[in-house]
Amino acid sequence: MNMSTNNTNAKSMLPYLCGLGFLSLILGLSLIYIEQQLSYFFGGLVICGGVLFLILAYVMVRRDSIQTQSAQANTFISPRGWKTLAMVSCILVGSLGFLAVSHYLASSSSIRWDVTQDKQHTLSDSTIAFVSSLSKEVKLTTFYVGTPPTYLQDLLQEFARNSAGLITAEIIDPLERIAYAAKFGNAINGDERKVIVQSGSRRKDLDFTFNPLSEQSLTNTIASAIRPPRKVYFLSGHGEYSISSEEYAGLSTFKQLLADNNILSDTLMLGISQSIPEDCDVLIIAGPKTELTAEEDTLIDDYLKQGGDALFLIEHTLVSIPEQPLSQAQLKQNPSLNTLLNQWGLDVQPDIVVDLTNHVGDDVGSPASKNYQPHEALTQGLDYTFYVRPRSIRLLENRAPNIKQAVIVSTASSTNSWAETNRNLDIQFDPNIDTPGPVPISYVVLGEHPANSKQDDKPSDTRLIVFTDADFLSNVYINQYSNAKLGLNLVNWLAELDAKTLLTPKKIEVERLDLTSKQKRQVIVILFLIPFFIALTGLGVWFKGRRRY
């Protein structure tokens, strides 16, 4: 009995010893691959494990073969054997079905889940809104020598997926398809990486030879291809904010954002040109420090009455302390331009809007607000915007019936904000002379004109927007809160562009995991062994159950 028991125990240990030999073999091979060298220890693991595995595997197979032949002499397959076979078949079919369905959904489903911190593989909301609103077909032909990177394929696929079929994208190797590449002209060669954006008869080329193709650059190129550029002129000669200045008080960043939206900028000195150019889609008057001449007022007034569109950015009134009263020259500095605005029903006041509840930093004269009037093209989706010492705007009672005005933004607080008329820094609400909040600091005006009042194909209606601050679009403040988005919305609406504004996205800080070559080999081994041992464990459980029945 003892001998029989010992034989049974020895037989039951065979699978475990065989598994131990197999593990030794795998461990030895893995260590050799990771360390990239053959030592006595690694070699011993491979040899001993391999020999032990082969001998014990042969013994187990031989023994099972004898037992199987004996069992087949009595019965073909027992009911339990059929049950086990059916279960294994269902598992195999279910696994293959799961793999097929998951691969199909991964390639065809529109559902995406981007788990990266900065949503690196997801288009921004503004880009999705722009692409999904396309009404023209766009073809993207990308020239890339060699195998294109994954990011490039994913980016083009996302643009096509969100366009409802209006964007088609292809990536070709110009060296392999020379004849096809030649159709795009001599600009294409093997050293360049380009995207050719075509929409109808219009074409725009985007070079990304030295920098990876970005979502922003591709979106702006598509926008340029589907619509003709607009032209805005910034008035100069009166101390206005400069579009060429990169200083804090400059507008160079705003100019670049306009260019990214296919809106070209130039300066206009009326005192020299004596006329507003015919290609002017929007006239921008950004914070003049001195009064305009009567001739300039007349030119601008005629331009507006003929259906021209303009953005007025009026700067703040100067303040002082009682011991240092303001001079007459200082009182006239930063004019209100009411000579022009009064004809459109608006009157800019010589005060300072303050908000004790919602302001930036410690300056109550820099109100921050989300109190926007509903205007889809101007204020939809905006977060806070803030302004530096804005003035209040009043509506005149005697307004022309063909002119409509509406507030764009007011102060947020109704009890702790007002228009302060005291310019000696004595901030205290006086109900007799101060205007209580919410205080409007910007207005939009629409002047309707007869349909044939203009001889060209531009719309005849006048679009006019007035803000009593220019600082919120300056280089130092434009990227704060929603200031940039609001500024672009204003110009887009004035230029009568249908496309959404396209902002420069935030720079994504990609945290990369830099691995040594040895660490990479360790990761490869781990990724290989995990599914391998799961499968091996399943086979072992199945084999044990089969032997039991």
CA distance 130 to 219: 8
CA distance 23 to 18: 9
Q: What is the CATH number of domain 230-494?
A: 3.40.50
Sign of torsion over alpha carbons 109, 504, 205, 228: positive
Per-residue pLDDT at 65 exceeds 80: no
CA distance 334 to 300: 18
For 166-212, how does the pLDDT look when each residue is reduced to its tens digit (9 = 90+)? Answer: 999 999 998 888 888 888 875 556 677 889 899 888 888 888 888 88
Tell me the two tokens of residue 226. 């589907």
**Nearest in space to 341 (alpha carbons), one of 447, 233, 472:** 447
For 247-292, how does the pLDDT look when each residue is reduced to its tens digit (9 = 90+)? Answer: 999 999 999 989 877 889 999 999 899 999 999 999 999 999 999 9
Please tell me the predicted confidence (pLDDT) of residue 52.
74
Mean local confidence (pLDDT), 373-396: 90
Residue with token string 């491979």: 46
> What one-character DSSP code corresponds to residue 440?
B
CA 374 to chain centroid: 24
What is the overall mean pLDDT for the chain? 80
Q: Which amino acid belongs to residue 142? A: T
Q: Where are the domains of the chain?
A: 77-117, 125-221, 230-494
Mean local confidence (pLDDT), 438-448: 93
Per-residue pLDDT at 408 exceeds 90: yes
CA distance 352 to 389: 6
Give the C-alpha distances (Å, rounded to integers) separating 239 from 242, 287, 374, 475.
Answer: 8, 8, 34, 17
CA distance 465 to 2: 103
Please tell me the predicted confidence (pLDDT) of residue 66.
57
Selected residue with higher pLDDT from 235 and 549: 235
Q: What's the start-to-end Cα distance of the chain, in Å? A: 24
Tell me the two tokens of residue 222. 């598509």
CA distance 433 to 436: 10
Q: Which of 121-125, 276-280, 307-311, 439-443 has the lowest mean pLDDT?
A: 121-125
Q: Which of 30-34, 192-196, 363-367, 408-412 has the lowest mean pLDDT?
A: 30-34
Q: Which of 28-37, 86-95, 460-469 has the lowest mean pLDDT?
A: 86-95
**Nearest in space to 322 (alpha carbons), one of 426, 418, 419:** 426
Residue 522: strand pairing partners: none
Range list of H helices, 482-516: 483-494
Selected residue with higher pLDDT from 379 and 514: 379
E strands, 238-375, where?
263-268, 282-286, 310-313, 346-348, 352-355, 359-360, 363-369, 371-372
Confidence label for 14 from pLDDT (cuts 50, 70 and 90): low
CA distance 297 to 281: 18
Residue with token string 């396309």: 134
Q: What is the CATH number of domain 125-221?
A: 3.40.30.10
243, 255 Cβ separation under 8 angstroms: yes
Is the preceding peptide bond at 438 cis, omega within 30 degrees of 0? Answer: yes
